[in-house]
Structure 1
Amino acid sequence: MSMSEMGIAGGHNYGLREEIKAYWSARAATFDLSPGHEIFSEPERVAWHRLILKHLGPGDGRLALDLASGTGVVSHLMDDLGFRVTGLDWAEPMLERARAKAKARGRSISFRMADVEATMEPDATYDVIITRHLVWTLVDPEAAFSEWMRVLKPGGTILIVDGDFVKAGRVERMLKALAKTMERVGLLKADPQHAPLELMKNHNDIVSRVHFSNGARAELVAGMLGGAGFEGMTIDTNLREIHKSQAKHWNYLKALSRGIQHRFAISARKPGG
């Protein structure tokens, strides 16, 4: 089936949400091949564990909801730390890979299909919610944050790991342009491509229409969380340990440009408990 037959390339007969779902369904086959998606080294795994423990503490059997769980990368990190994890995603190809990975590793993680902006999960069910690189793609973040507040237990905690992947600063743009030039003339090894060119064009079109089309900044996201009723906000921009562990999988210019991106973790609590 071609991309146009799937509604990927044109998308004229699809709503934005359906286009996003179709895009990530198509990305599933190669998702785990990209550095920054799957965990490729023990130092990176340890760095992620430290970030999660810093904001959420040890699992101790607490119920965790991993939103936009994809192939289950973050779900496995949470399971490592003793959380009882449920992963939600609305792309069945992602869920198929997540379930297969959990089975192969002997993990008891539940993966279910759901719209992460309207989960259909019961009220006040989860002790923690975690998301990675989801918020910047949301169509209606205000509604999503209210939904996530609903499914958290009183006193429950949310951890959002995200960034501004839209607006590049002058130095980042220069580094990327230099990297492309050096790759083209053979002076620099090309990094693994996240997705085929056709999918990347579709990705850029989708990003131009999501809520944070001008970029998700930490202060803006935190303000919207506060508007949804979350409290005790912590904005953490020190993700250097994770970036350093990932850097060896990129050429040095790509690693530099990623390191100066606006990336952040935000934790906050639901009142009560």
Structure 2
Amino acid sequence: MRFFIVEIFGVPNHFYYICIILNYCDKYMANHPQWSDEYWLLLMQLYMKKPIGIKPLYSRAMVDLALMLHIEPKFLYDQMFFLQKSEQPSLKLLWDKYSKHPKKLEQKAKLIQEQFGFQHADTFFQDVDIHETWEKDFRPLEADKELSPIKLIMILNLYFQLTPVTMVPETPEIEDLAKLIHLNPEKITNIMDIYQICDPYLTRDSFMAITPLLKPCEEIWKRFGNEDPQNLYTLASQLKEYFL
């Protein structure tokens, strides 16, 4: 939020100061601490991949780029909109130079990745202290490499749409989710059993409390279990793109 003082004349012996509030949309400003102007070309390369255009927020390619840059997908998503509509001379120059020359764009993008060490990220970030936050949602769980927090989020979303009696592998919705997130239905129902332990509206024996998956399920429940289910549903709908 920025404030400008405007002096208005016209009233004898008086003038008024009007405080005009301009609400700047920071999401269109490249102000992320990890952002570099060289990344515009990486975004352009992603934009130009077929089908050409803005990619879904949690598409696999968008998330992969976000993980590589350690920049949230939402920021890159907003930047891609800005890239598409921007009238800034510097960005228009990039469009003119690369949009119709995909090979040149690919070569330049590869060079940028090499310069920033992204092609050898393990070595490049070896001595760098990176505090991962959102990235962990897309990493495999230590307790079960087949699972990740985003898969637990998808399962919790379906959990709120079913009743305990329908939380069985044969339920069509569970079979559909299993195909989408590449798990077997039995594992999904096992996770739902753990969520029943977390659910304050249910009385369940804690015989499964010894499972190493209890803690990650509790963490997801704390984040979403007591929130508006519609918010979780919206997020899960967006996350579907990651698995397609």
TM-score bracket for the superposition, by shorter chain length: under 0.3
Q: Which structure's residues are more often strand, by fraction? A: 1
TM-score by length of 1: 0.24
Higher relative contact order (CA 8 A, sep 6+): 1
TM-score by length of 2: 0.26
Q: Which structure's residues are more often helix, by fraction? A: 2
Structure 1 or 2, whichever has the larger Rg, is 2
